[in-house]
């Protein structure tokens, strides 16, 4: 039986789950994203993520259970997306289904993503949805792949 993947608005209680997911050691390694302390995390989500009406922010649920999130935001004149799923939801097609649902809502194109180059699962997920490499970008000493989803992709 296929698991039901849905998107819904993020509620305040979701942030505790997102915080725990951000602190998962394997997630940190794969994303090359250092986890924030609780106060900094909550401040970021409350003010910059949920507090910016230009962002599209959705929780991912699997059979009604919170699994992660997807976010689209503006960085100057470019629209970016990012996502985070709890490790127990990896490798089950959940990211693929959730991103497809999100891309139906988020119609801005071009749309950018910049996963850590060694996060091959994330790169493959984005490419599966039509994102194509437009080069690399360095964040400190770490290489990230700049992917773009253009109109009609």
E strands, the chain, where? 5-9, 56-62, 65-75, 78-85, 111-113, 132-139, 142-149
Would you place residue 11 in the very low, low, confident or very high pLDDT band (cuts 50, 70, 90)? very high
State the Cα–Cα distance between residues 53 and 117, nearest whole angstrom. Answer: 30
| Predicted TM-score of the model (pTM) | 0.94
Answer yes or no: are the C-beta atoms of 126 and 133 closer than 8 Å: no
Would you place residue 140 in the very low, low, confident or very high pLDDT band (cuts 50, 70, 90)? confident
**Distance between start and end Cα atoms, the chain:** 30
Phi, then psi, of 129 in degrees rounded to 5: -100, 15
Whether the pLDDT of residue 152 is over 90: the answer is no
State the Cα–Cα distance between residues 88 and 148, nearest whole angstrom. Answer: 28
pLDDT 10s digits, 44-66: 999 999 999 999 999 999 999 99
Angle between helix 94-105 and 120-128 (nearest 10) = 50
26 burial (CB, 10 Å; 0-12 / 13-18 / 19+) is exposed
DSSP 112: E
Place of tokens 């996963």: 115
**What pLDDT is attached to residue 2?**
81
Place of tokens 């789950």: 17
State the Cα–Cα distance between residues 113 and 119, nearest whole angstrom. Answer: 12
State the Cα–Cα distance between residues 17 and 69, nearest whole angstrom. Answer: 10
């Amino acid at each position: 039986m296929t698991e039901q993947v849905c998107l819904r608005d993020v509620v305040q209680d979701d942030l505790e789950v997102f915080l725990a997911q951000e602190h998962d050691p394997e997630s940190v390694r794969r994303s090359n994203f250092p986890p924030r302390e609780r106060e900094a995390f909550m401040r970021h989500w409350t003010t910059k993520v949920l507090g910016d009406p230009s962002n599209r922010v959705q929780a991912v649920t699997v059979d009604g259970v919170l699994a992660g999130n997807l976010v689209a935001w503006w960085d100057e004149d470019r629209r970016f997306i990012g996502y985070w799923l709890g490790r127990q939801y990896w490798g089950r097609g959940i990211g693929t289904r959730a991103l497809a649902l999100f891309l139906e809502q988020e119609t801005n194109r071009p749309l950018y993503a910049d996963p850590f180059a060694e996060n091959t699962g994330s790169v493959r997920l984005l490419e599966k949805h039509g994102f194509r490499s437009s080069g690399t970008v360095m964040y400190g000493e770490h290489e990230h792949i700049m992917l773009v989803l253009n109109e009609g992709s």
